A and B are shown apart, each in its own frame.
Chain A
Amino acid sequence: MVRLYPNRCQLVGSAFISGFLISLVRSFIHFVILISRQGKVRLTKWYSPYQQKERSTVIRELSGLILTRGPKLCNFVEWKGFKVVYASLYFCICIDPDDNELEILEIIHHFVEILDRYFGSVCELDLIFNFHKAYYILDEILIAGELQESSKKTVARLIAAQDSLVETAKEETGSISNMISQAM
């Protein structure tokens, strides 16, 4: 039988299970998913190794679990021995059962506030059309499943700096390709 989801004990040990290397150190956060109210996936980030097939299974199961939950319930669900913390139109973060759920809630709020600041009151469309930016912002907050940056200002500054670098680079290449196409 192939285990799809490594449990804590397996994550801790180093072993090849169903063909992939399970690392010696667990990651704090196993994955981050953003699901819309309609069940559409808007962002996925996997910090523990999941195969492509497992990823869609995970999302299907979790959206079934979370979207059916009514309002005014707690923000935590248990799922396959893990805890999933969700908030704000379904940013879902999966952690081990002995991690601090409230801390994760704060991370989600932190992420949402940074997105808000960047996009100016973020909405779903912003994330749909700027999905790589959402990734870059997330990468400033979490790396390898670890919390990185606690200051919103710094994240905003870093992202802005990256944006301006990319923009100038784009302008350059844009003009070159224009020149080529005109020459042809």
Chain B
Amino acid sequence: MAATAASSSSPSLIDTLFQRSLDDVIRVLRSSSSAALEAAAIARALDEIRREIRSPDLDTKAVALQKLTYLASLHHFDMSWAAFHALELLPSTSLPHPRAAYLAASVSFHPSSTDLLPLATHQLRKHLAPSPSNSPALAAPALHLLALASSPDLAGHLAPDLLPILSSQSSSNPLRPKAVATALRALAVCPDTAPVLFKPLVECLSLSSDPRAVSAAIGAFCELALAASDPSPYIPLAPEFYRLLVDSRNNWVTIKVLKIFARLAPLEPRVAARIVDPVCQLLRRSTAKSLVFECIRTVFSSLLDHDAAVRLAVDKTKEFVASDDDPNLRYLGLQALTMLGPAHSWAVEDSREVVIQSLNDTDTSIRREALRLEMGMLSDSNVVDICNMLIKYAIKSDPEFANEILDAVLATCGRNVYELIVDFDWYVSLLGEMVRNPHFAKGDEIERQLVDVGLRVRDARPELIRVARNLLIDPALLGNPFLCRVLSAAAWVSGEYVEFSRNPLELVEALLQPRTNLLPPFVRAVYVQAVFKILAYSFISFIKQIQAGELLEIGNSFIQRGGKQEGSDLVAAKSSSDQNNAFAIGDGVATDDKAILFDSIEKQETFKHESISCLLNLIETVVGPLSECGEVEVQERARNVLGLILIIRETQFWNIEEGHELTRDDKITKMVELMESAFSEELGPVSTNAQKRVSVPEALILNENLSDLLDILGDDDINPCASVSFSFRNHHSTETNQDSATAIEPNSFLAEHRKRHGLYYLHMDKDKSESNDYPCANEPLLPVSHGEDTEDIVKLPAQSLIPEKAKPTKPRPLVIRLDEGDGVSSSNLTTAKESKGDLLSGAIRDVLLRNEKKPSLTHKTSLDRTSQRRENGASENSELISQQKESNSFGDREHGNSSSRKGRHHHKERIESSGQNRDNEEKSHRHSTKSSRHHRRHKHRQRGDAPLDIAPQSPVIQDFLL
């Protein structure tokens, strides 16, 4: 035992002599046939590695590390525990050892997990130092590791060591481009290195440099400019970039330059004007598709004001879109067209057929891009046509893409409080249509929009309730779990806007239809509440109608005219239609011969005594069992409804045949007033900021730790579950109750319901066999052949994508929007993005300005938010500043000659103002910026040989470029 323990803890000589090589391990892994065998082989190899890696023999250690690197990179085993062993190998004089160590480190090290890397600072510095004995075979991986894994501190420490390589003039130093990339990463993690590193980077762009260094440097500037929230600090470099754009024969370089210009052109119109010609040249001339594509993108993103360029780019894009044999080009062509937006829909018009065919492409990437393009082209004039076409297409599409289409349509139409929608009646019915899609799975969004449109657009409510009615009345929809959210919204709409309904009683019937027991409790609760609202509304209307009739009669009797029959006329007219629409409820209360009317045709708001009483009976029968429901939400609402019915019955309503006397009943008048006031207030949309505007009461401590409550609650049987049940009875009895209720319901109601709404039901014989299994709401269509579809689809959009101006539409209804509340999410996003702060471009701006002091202070706010260095407060900050000074002094030493008088002047100014507070300092800094700009402009003018004189108006120009 002791022997094995020893051998597992420390590597023996045997381990060293008989160590398995990496190849051996790979062979074993390859020969293991099953996953279990492979896992065992890996476990064994890891065991060995753990022992071997502690060996004092560096060869053994290196091989162990190599094996571990293999397992970590291809089988994702954590190798952070071996970090120290990797560093142990760095100082070895044998070349393969440090190389293995660097490889291991670059695979496993991570900016957050490299606590150990500072230990290697000295070694890294040694490998980077330019000496003849030092081979690039070590400096290269050292640079690589530094680029991948350095912390801000390490980057700050080693930045000066990059300088000799960065500024080496030997034309074929293979390390220089690598050092450029490393310098970029150093700048990224530690913006304070900008004073040291930025100038050599700029120098790499110069003509004399090694083309590979130029390529690397332009790549670095591309990343810097693309990542900067404000790329204006890079405008002064525009002449250099322009020279590269015109002169470079390297497509990779040109692409990067174009990317930079795409960022700069919107900031400075002269830059745009200047690059249009070369870009068009490239568009015409170049045979490299990647370059052509980049040109197209540059034009579409930044040069839209230049018509000739846009036309040329559109022509090229059409070639892309029409290339049948190359799906890549088709994809990219669609992507490019998407960038254009509705203002340039003429460009899409010519390719319309291809675009629509692409919706049917076998390639999901292309289909998605085509969909995105369609969505991008939407404007208020073509939204109806395109959306109708897409929704029709979605029915034939495969499930995943169908839902993507629905998603896209919902998102685009709902964007910015439905800004695209003019005809809300159409949109609401479109929402209803979407639900009928066989693959529909977007219940949450439709639910939100149905309610949201109801709240915001008063004019859409009549159509909304029509759509809601159609959804509610169809029993086939109830069984589909994806639809229950939609039904919940429809039920809410039907309750809230019942006054627009042509037939409230029909709604109640739909809400109480037998199969509603398939709904989850939270939806059921909404259903019951909707019934409550409709009942209240119907009863109020009934009473008011009687009151009105009475008044009318009184008026008639006063006037002594012949037409005194008006009130009773109405009743008579109705009773005739009663007979037609009569139906019977087959429960114990209502019998067959007690025919009740559900007047569905006339738009009349009259309610008959019988219809109300029938309503009461129906509700009582169906909602009654729910008052014992185990779900507290349903139970409570059911009891509310039953309570209301009880009160109505108590008013002697039943015993009075003649309505006239009702009105004299004080109790009824009171009740009507009460119920009216309960529901009369209109609900509106709630601002997303509403919560913020509520001031927190002084005594309330929101951040209080509530963990003490756990002790009190912990032992009790209160375990939070999804559906809370507070029923007084125990669970068992309620469940049986509910079971019996659900068992009774279908028997009596289902047959009745089927009789009346036969069109929604399947044939009886089939139904019997699967009585409880509801037919799927939407029968999935058979897989359709793509070819036919395409033809259909191409036919669909007879209308063009181009907005048709001369389309007479009704004026857009008022849409309530809360200014601060809506759209806040998007604006928030952008501000957050901006406020993330751009430490780096700030630092670079400072370098360009030769602002030699505390570059980070000018970006105090962003530092506050983001920098981890802030954590230690002011002391740390001062440390940072001193460090900064150090590096600045270094920079001065290096480039002292090139720094102008201006720079020194700044320095003085800064020192003078250093006693003041930071705000002042910042102001003075800005002031100095301006004054220096004046001088520079002067200088720049004097200098005639600048390759491109576009910079004079640019805000800042650094000295070393002039």
Binding site for B on A (CB under 8 A): 9, 11-16, 19-21, 23-28, 41-44, 47, 49, 51-53, 55-56, 59, 69-70, 72-78, 98, 100-103, 105-106, 128-129, 131-132, 135-136, 139-140, 143-144, 146-151, 154, 158, 161-162, 165-166, 169-170, 172-173, 177, 181, 184
Contact = CB atoms under 8 A, between A and B. Distances in A.
Given A14-B837, A52-B78, 10 more contacts: A15-B866, A23-B189, A24-B227, A28-B223, A44-B74, A47-B148, A98-B226, A106-B252, A143-B177, A144-B184
Contacts of A98: 226
B707 interface: no
Nearest to B293: A102
Nearest to B250: A150
A12 B229 contact: yes
Interface string B160-198: 000000000000001001100110110111010000000
A14 B889 CA distance: 27
Contact of B227 (A26, A49, A128, A129): A26
A73 B362 contact: yes
B362 A70 contact: yes
B112 A21 contact: yes
B711 interface: no
Given A146-B216, A172-B94, A19 B137 contact: no
Contact of A103 (B70, B185, B294): B294
Contacts of A25: 184-185, 187-188, 223-224, 227, 840
Main secondary structure, interface of A, reads mixed
A102 B833 contact: no
A144 B99 CA distance: 17
Contacts of B107: 135
Instruction: Sort chain B's interface into a size bin.
Output: 35 or more
A129 B25 CA distance: 10
A150 B447 CA distance: 55
A149 B177 contact: yes
Contacts of A28: 219, 222-223
Contacts of B181: 143-144, 146, 148
A72 to B, nearest CB: 7
Contacts of B110: 20, 49, 51
A139 B141 contact: yes
B469 interface: no
B147 A158 contact: no
B182 A13 contact: no
12 contacts: A9-B829, A9-B833, A12-B833, A21-B112, A26-B223, A51-B110, A53-B76, A102-B289, A103-B294, A106-B290, A146-B223, A162-B137
A165 B137 contact: yes
A157 B787 CA distance: 53
Which 9 A-B residue pairs are closest in the complex by CB-CB distance?
A13-B836, A102-B290, A144-B147, A25-B188, A20-B112, A74-B327, A169-B95, A73-B363, A56-B76
B867 A14 contact: yes
A179 B330 CA distance: 65
Given A166-B95, A166-B96, A132 B219 contact: no
A47 to B, nearest CB: 7
Contacts of B100: 132
A84 B144 CA distance: 23
B176 to A, nearest CB: 10
B227 A143 contact: no
B141 A181 contact: no
Given A23-B185, A73-B362, A161 B137 contact: yes
B94 A173 contact: yes
A49 B70 contact: no
Interface string B92-118: 001110011001001100111100000
B9 interface: no
B368 interface: yes
Nearest to A59: B76
A132 B137 contact: no
Interface string B276-303: 0000000000000110011001000000
A137 to B, nearest CB: 12
A51 B250 CA distance: 36
B216 A148 contact: yes
Interface in B811-853: 829, 832-833, 836-840
B232 interface: no
Nearest to A104: B290
Given A12-B833, A146-B223, A128 B26 contact: yes
A103 to B, nearest CB: 5
B481 to A, nearest CB: 25
Nearest to A70: B362
Nearest to A132: B103
B73 interface: yes
Contact of A165 (B112, B135, B227, B293): B135
Q: Which of the listed residues A14, A139, A177 has the most CB atoms from chain B within 10 Å of its own CB?
A: A14
B290 A73 contact: no
Nearest to B178: A143
B936 interface: no
Contacts of A27: 185, 223
A74 B868 contact: no
A177 to B, nearest CB: 6
Contact of B143 (A42, A135, A136, A143): A143
